[in-house]
Structures are given as C-alpha cells and as structure tokens.
C-alpha cells in the first residue's frame, strides 16, 4: 500500500538515485526490500509496533539490508529519524512504480489461482505487448486462490477479469435479478 508520504519519499529517493546514476541498483534494492517485508510477517509486525524503539528498528533494517546501496541505507536512516520506518514497504513499492514509469516500462499484473508457468508467462507478456503497443513490459504474477481459476489482468488503469469467481458472481447476480 502506497500512501502520499511513501510516494514523496520514493520521489526523493528516485531523484537521488538518478543524480548518482544508480537507478538500476536502487531499483533492485527496492524489489528486495518489498519482497522481504511482504514475505516476513514478523518484520511487518516489528515495523508497525509502537513498542519497539525506532533505534532498534533502524539497526534491524540496516542489518537485514546490509548488502544494499548507500542510498537505500540512507532511506532507512531518514525514515528512522522521522519515525516513519513503517512506510519502508510502501516507499519500495512506490519507487518501483515511479522508476518503471520514468523508463516507460509497463507492468502487467496477472492474478491467477496458481503460479504462472514460464511458457504461459511468455504468452501473457506477448499479449500485453500487443495490447499496449509497448516493448517495455514486465509481468508481475500475483497468486490468489480465491479467484478459483482463470485470471485477472491489470495494466495501468485497465483491468480484464476472466476469473471463475467473477463469472460465478455474475451468474449469481443474474439469478437474483430474475427472482
């Protein structure tokens, strides 16, 4: 989730990375930060906790992300000193979106009930390139078992919902209208 504050921090980091010619490196850092926070419930709890001291949060994050660039470490320092460490995940997400936007890269989010195979991902990538007219497209696969089957494709503000859960919902609405 990206808040306005997270977007502001992300813009500042992007400007700093562009000035230092390290955009690609920081982009990799932000992907790592987002994935680490998203996949680690304990870390999320620590970052959100008012009980854990800001200094302890900062030290933990600097240790976890010790192999990142100085810009990313600087972001952790700034967020810590401003008592906004809980925004780190949102800043990472916002940074990636801003970076991709600046590079003209379209990100297609494909939500499926099971992970996409390599072959299917390539087919989706080709279709999205055809639909957007852009050669700079990446596919992000989100697994959501609640859609039962099919897929939901989102590129920018366009969405195509071909999930079984959506089709069942439409049927349910049609039946309730006819009663």
Task: Give the separation between CA 31 and CA 163, rounded to whole angstroms.
Answer: 27
Tally of domains within the chain: 2
pLDDT score of 68: 94
Q: Which pLDDT tens digit goes with each residue over 13-38?
A: 999 999 999 999 999 999 999 999 99
Q: Is the predicted pLDDT of residue 95 greater than 90, yes or no?
A: yes
Mean pLDDT, the chain, whole residue set: 90
Whether 25 and 111 map to the same domain: the answer is no
Whether 68 and 114 map to the same domain: the answer is no
Task: Give the global pTM.
Answer: 0.73
Exposure string over 120-152, b if 16+ CB within 10 A, otherwise e: eeeebbeebeeeeeeeebebebeeeeebeeebb
Residue 2's pLDDT band (cuts 50, 70, 90): low
Whether 15 and 87 map to the same domain: the answer is yes
User: For 83-93, what is the mean pLDDT?
Assistant: 94
pLDDT score of 156: 76
User: For 125-154, what is the mean pLDDT?
Assistant: 85
Whether 24 and 56 map to the same domain: the answer is yes
């Amino acid at each position: 989730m990206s808040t306005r504050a997270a977007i502001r921090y992300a813009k500042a980091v992007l400007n700093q990375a562009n000035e230092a010619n390290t955009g690609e490196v920081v982009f990799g850092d932000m992907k790592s930060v987002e994935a680490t926070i998203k996949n680690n419930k304990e870390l999320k709890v620590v970052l959100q906790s008012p009980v854990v001291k800001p200094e302890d949060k900062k030290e933990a994050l600097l240790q976890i992300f010790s192999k990142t660039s100085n810009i990313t470490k600087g972001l952790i320092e700034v967020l810590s000193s401003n008592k906004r460490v809980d925004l780190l995940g949102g800043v990472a997400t916002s940074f990636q979106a801003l970076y991709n936007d600046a590079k003209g890269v379209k990100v297609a989010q494909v939500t499926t009930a099971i992970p996409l195979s390599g072959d299917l991902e390539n087919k989706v990538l080709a279709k999205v390139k055809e639909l957007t007219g852009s050669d700079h497209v990446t596919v992000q696969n989100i697994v959501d078992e609640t859609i039962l089957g099919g897929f939901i494709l989102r590129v920018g503000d366009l969405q195509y919902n071909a999930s079984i859960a959506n089709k069942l919902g439409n049927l349910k609405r049609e039946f309730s209208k006819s009663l």
